[in-house]
Chain A
Amino acid sequence: MYRKDGNSYFVVDAHVALWDGRPENQRNIHGKQFIDCFYDYHRNLSPESEVWSYQEYLYQGGQRLIKDLFDDGYVDHAIFQPAQLGEFYYKGFGQTEEAFALTQRHPDKLTYNHNFDPRNGEAGLDRLRDDARRFGLKGVKLYTAEWHGDSRGYKLDEAWSRRYLEECIKLGIKNIHVHKGPTIRPLDRDAFDVADVDKVATDYLELNFVVEHVGLPRLEDFCWIATQESNVYGGLAVAIPFIHTRPRYFAQIIGELLYWIGEDKILFSSDYALWTPKWLIEKFVDFQIPDDMLGEYAPITVDQKRKILGLNAATLYDIDVPAELQLAQPAGQGGAEVAAGAKESVSI
């Protein structure tokens, strides 16, 4: 929980990882390229005081994670969203056993989401059933640019992806976190295109689709599909750190999101260990649309921040929120009206 100026905020960090990017886990050059790319994101967007050394960045371990999220970071509950990246790392990138063990030690604080790869066919479906049982899955994290043998990506509306999504419905896995990446098959098309999310969101209304990074670098396409679908949400991972280096750009991002998809569909995520939640939460609570942009975007209210920082994700994951931290109206409602102003507004 975070308190500021007499207001209290229940915080759910909807996207965290316990990764191992150390050289001994790197299967090939791509393992190094991948963690180096993350480290450049970290160095580029973090305040100077929050920049870690490269060594620290490669691996944190459970103790450090607990400290960064819960002791220092104001987080009430965090959700693991592990990336497999088996082609880049011997033991995978997200550390399944270590993370799951942590959630068992701190069930009130941590939820473990796992991943699947539809290219694993029938065997993967069996695996998904076992994983759902073992981990008690409420959600999965899908990285569509995952490399897999000769294939370097897939789409959610392919036949096998649909089989897996239908299995998720049967297994009670209702939150599908989608992380788009730079590769897809065929390479003819834009790998970041979210049209496939649009299709499956229409077909599987039982599921919630959380598009990570709010669709960046295709913010506009994400906003557009999210206005068409009642079950599409946006995770702020990678978008929220702009609040420090480029606050005016962040104002545009959050302004666009509130305009198109609304306050009930946006989820806070630090993307730990890309960044740590403490400074992101402090800056977000202090954040306001700059005065000269108020003609374009409405000011952000305290209640909107409460929903984004935790109440929306708490609804998606059935996380108990102390009564005094709840709002009069429930948050994270799928049916909330979106883009209400889009029809009549002409503002530049």
Chain B
Amino acid sequence: MTSAALSAEAEILDALATVTDPELDEPITDLGFVRSVFIDDGGVTVHLRLPTAFCSPNFAYLMASDALDALRALGGNGEIRVLLDDHHDSEKINAGLAADAGYLGTFGDEAEEGLTELRDVFWRKAHAAAMERAIGSLLRQAPMDVERIGRLTLRDLPEGQPKAALLRRRVAIGLGNCPNSRVLVDDEGKAIPLEAVPLRLRFAKSVRISMEGNAHFCRGLLATRYADDEAGGAVPVITNIRTDLDNGDVHGRAILVP
């Protein structure tokens, strides 16, 4: 195994890890949605899978086309193919991806304008959940009154995962990350009037619970669906038979990458 081959695999998995399931706000690699990665001299072929054959086709398409974009953006990997397995719209989506037909070309009459708005709806949900997580982790350390919560700024949040996650979601919905920005804001980034602070925070909690619950259920269903025929579980099967250009060595192996 050469370092060049290793880095190709790692690079591809890292790129796939930037693709999230919009409904769950988690990387498709963590969710077990990447079934296999095949690398050869011609290019890279990735198979995706989902917890049910009836997962929403619009989200399925988004994840598959995002994966395609993320791998193409790496450059130098030859032809990139992404295929969605075992879905009621597999044929339609795979044909659309192969032909670079885009969302409108893939779904024809069933598509109207695009999926930007759909994506935005779920970025806003992800932002609300991240906001509640960040404030919640502060509240668990020390109680705060409503006024204090309403006036919290990004500067007040301790460095760490909850803050980093919130900052990423803020960028996704077009908000700035100035340290003096309020933490608890509406979907447009506006501060919440004092009397509306409890309700905004309480609803953000419901959003978080809903997304977390869905993610648990999706993981469970995926495991059940593929329990019988894929012992590897949630990790992708990676096969790399790319010729090493330095020494002419050919790799033929399948490894599991956690």
Contact = CB atoms under 8 A, between A and B. Distances in A.
B178 interface: no
B171 to A, nearest CB: 22
A257 to B, nearest CB: 10
B117 interface: yes
Contacts of A245: 220
B18 interface: no
Interface in A236-265: 242, 245-246, 249, 252-253, 256, 260
Contact of B52 (A40, A216, A224): A40
A348 B140 contact: yes
A189 B221 contact: no
A192 B203 CA distance: 18
Contact of B199 (A29, A182, A252, A343): A343
A256 B117 contact: no
Contacts of A44: 220-221, 223-224
A345 B198 contact: yes
Contacts of A189: 117-118
Contact of A190 (B52, B121, B139, B210): B121
A6 to B, nearest CB: 33
Contacts of B149: 346
A347 B199 CA distance: 11
B102 interface: no
Contacts of A256: 206, 209
A345 B199 CA distance: 8
Interface string A34-52: 1011001101110000000
B131 to A, nearest CB: 12
B189 interface: no
A342 B199 CA distance: 6
B229 interface: no
A152 interface: yes
A37 B53 CA distance: 7
A33 interface: yes
B112 A249 contact: no
A192 B205 contact: no
B115 A188 contact: yes
A219 B57 contact: no
B213 A253 contact: yes
A150 interface: yes
B56 interface: yes
Contacts of B112: 186, 188
B199 A219 contact: no
Nearest to B195: A343
A176 B54 CA distance: 24
Interface residues of A, number: 46
A186 B224 CA distance: 31
A3 B58 CA distance: 46
A219 B225 CA distance: 24
B238 interface: no
A34 to B, nearest CB: 7
Interface in B106-139: 107, 109-115, 117-118, 121-122, 125, 132, 135-136, 139
Most A CB within 10 A of own CB, among B114, B132, B210, B225: B210
Contacts of B241: none
B26 interface: no
Contacts of B95: none
B210 A220 contact: yes
B114 A188 contact: yes
A217 B210 contact: yes
B207 interface: yes
Contacts of B118: 188-190
Contact of B54 (A29, A33, A220, A348): A33
Contacts of A192: 56
B55 interface: yes
B146 A346 contact: yes
B110 A219 contact: no
Interface of A: 29-30, 33-34, 36-37, 40-41, 43-45, 150, 152, 181-183, 185-192, 216-220, 223-224, 242, 245-246, 249, 252-253, 256, 260, 342-348
5 contacts: A44-B223, A188-B118, A217-B210, A246-B216, A343-B199
Interface of B: 23, 51-58, 88, 107, 109-115, 117-118, 121-122, 125, 132, 135-136, 139-140, 146, 149, 197-199, 201-203, 205-207, 209-210, 213-214, 216-217, 220-221, 223-225
In the A-B complex, the 3 residue pairs with the smallest Cβ-Cβ separation, listed nearest first, are A33-B53, A186-B112, A220-B206
Given A30-B88, A44-B223, A182-B57, 13 more contacts: A187-B58, A188-B111, A188-B112, A188-B115, A189-B118, A192-B56, A217-B23, A219-B206, A219-B210, A219-B213, A252-B209, A256-B206, A342-B199
